[in-house]
A and B are shown apart, each in its own frame.
Chain A
Amino acid sequence: MALRIPSGTRDVLPEEMAALRRIEQALLATFLEHGFGEVSTPTVEYEDTLRAAEIGLGPAYRVVDDHGELLALRADMTVPIARVVATRYADSEPPLRFCYAARAHRAVRPHRGQAREFLQAGVELFGVPGAAGTAEVLTVLSRALEAAGLREFHLGLGDARIYPSLLSAFDVPEDGRAKLLAELTTRDLAGLDRELLALDLTPEARELLSRVPRMRGSAQVLEGLPVHVADAVADLREILSLLPVDVAGRVIVDLGRAPRLGYYSGHVFEVYDPALGEPLGGGGRYDQLLGRFGREMPAVGFALGVDLLHEALAGEARGETRLGGQGS
């Protein structure tokens, strides 16, 4: 018989394992240095718990145990750690800081080279609201990547509230809002423009709703934005001012970010490296998630794909500073 392993999973042999372990340890050491305590949670949780989080991405793998209970493999560590905070730290004074390096599981489509099981390293910060909390984890994120040896990375920073605020400000009717947000979530900016033309809007509103999601770059993109998004803009400015200068220098302000997962409520960010065609991690604020577990508390965190980080490091070492790897 063929001794197969499920698609999207893999064995790691000593040479690679040593490299992955070094990366993981560099990340964890940085997290600990910044006051984040390492936690471990069960690989399987009750499916109810993972679903109660109402995240966009539900658990992909379920099993019925010997008591007839429905268990599921976690899709990330954010929900299990939120559960820990809501139960084990129910009476603790915030702020609370946790970090982890752990495996999680997600559904994959066949033949796409996606991982079904992957190692994530990240932090979760509870009880520090707004820009201050976000700036703290962005700084830890940046320091951890530096400790792992990554040099060329950028931090894409946006706010999931921006587009919805604009839609409210211009009184876009409910069905139109849904259509525009769907185009933005599916990354179809041509479709966005088409839907905008179909709506009864002033030329100014139409121009702004088309332009803002395309804006990304230095802090300059925050200039001249309408008053309707003042809260988000003020927040993003504050984050930038709170970051150490070198970290702020890595930020690409990105006004086109639609919420990545259902639980993100405000600031969102992703890590980009020119040596890798996909983000190697990301995170954001999820201020409503804890409330669903019975304890209202603002929260922010990120997760890095350790395998992706390894790939990006290898790419940088080969001198692939541009995407595509065809040389310049």
Chain B
Amino acid sequence: MNRYGLTIAVPRGALMDGTLERLEAIGIDTAEVRSNDRKLLFEDVGIVTMRPSDVPTYVESGAADIGITGKDVLMEQREHLVYELLDLDFGGCRMVLATKAGPDLAAEALQRLGVMRVATKYPRIAGEHFERTGRQAEIVEVKGSVELAPITGLAEAIVDLTATGTTLAENGLVIREEIATTTARLIANRVALRVRAEAVDRVVEALRGI
């Protein structure tokens, strides 16, 4: 177990390096986590690793006391009863609406058909964006490689997360609208937040102090 006595859910993927860096900075030894790509549970340092989108599930149930994940995940999975304690100010990304470069096919579809098809891994965020802006959209949920959708004609537009825009550009897509900006967040289980208040506050203070 780590010095704080808390089980920490760590996201694999883009946020992992930044997360481990910060945990290291507040005195948690993450060497084994860095060196072992297959292992998921690191009991000695109280770390469990998982997909970012699973972090709220584990933290809500108490299988982890605290966790780190992207604001995009928290926005999409708002029903999870977890506390968002800290904006960790790394892993910055934008949630954007993108379409193929050239004439805006999505706007054209909207004008011609009254509705556009939008592929996304974030059906809730996308759906709410179009509701808010008073447009009809048919949301097509896909699990990965969202960029493929407009190229193949599955949809006219996509709503997706982008850090640099490189993948979008490589697939001939351009950003038409920015929906939200997201960063990594520290979240806590609601029982741990009260019953282990002191430990949770020590982590928060340490992370703030980096």
Contacts and interface: CB of A to CB of B under 8 A. Distances in A.
Secondary structure type dominating chain B contacts: mixed
Nearest to A324: B7
Size range of the chain A interface in the assembly? 20 to 34
A68 to B, nearest CB: 34
Contact of A323 (B41, B85, B185, B191): B191
Nearest to A270: B194
Nearest to B59: A277
Interface string A79-104: 00000000000000000000000000
Contact of B82 (A187, A272, A326): A187
Chain B CB within 10 A, most for which of A189, A217, A270, A272? A189
Chain A CB within 10 A, most for which of B46, B64, B81, B193? B193
A73 B140 CA distance: 35
Contacts of B61: 277-278
A278 B87 contact: no
Contacts of B60: 277-278
A326 B7 contact: yes
Interface of A: 109, 112, 154, 156, 186-191, 193-194, 214, 216-217, 252, 254, 270, 272-274, 276-279, 322-328
Contact of B64 (A187, A214, A324): A324
A274 B16 CA distance: 28
A146 to B, nearest CB: 18
Interface in B177-210: 185, 189-198, 201
B41 A326 contact: yes
Contacts of A273: 191
Size range of the chain B interface in the assembly? 20 to 34
A194 B191 contact: no
B101 interface: no
Nearest to A221: B197
Contacts of A112: 79
Contacts of A191: 84
Top 4 closest pairs, chain A to chain B, by CB: A277-B62, A324-B7, A190-B87, A188-B84
A169 to B, nearest CB: 25
Chain B CB within 10 A, most for which of A112, A190, A194? A190
B78 interface: yes
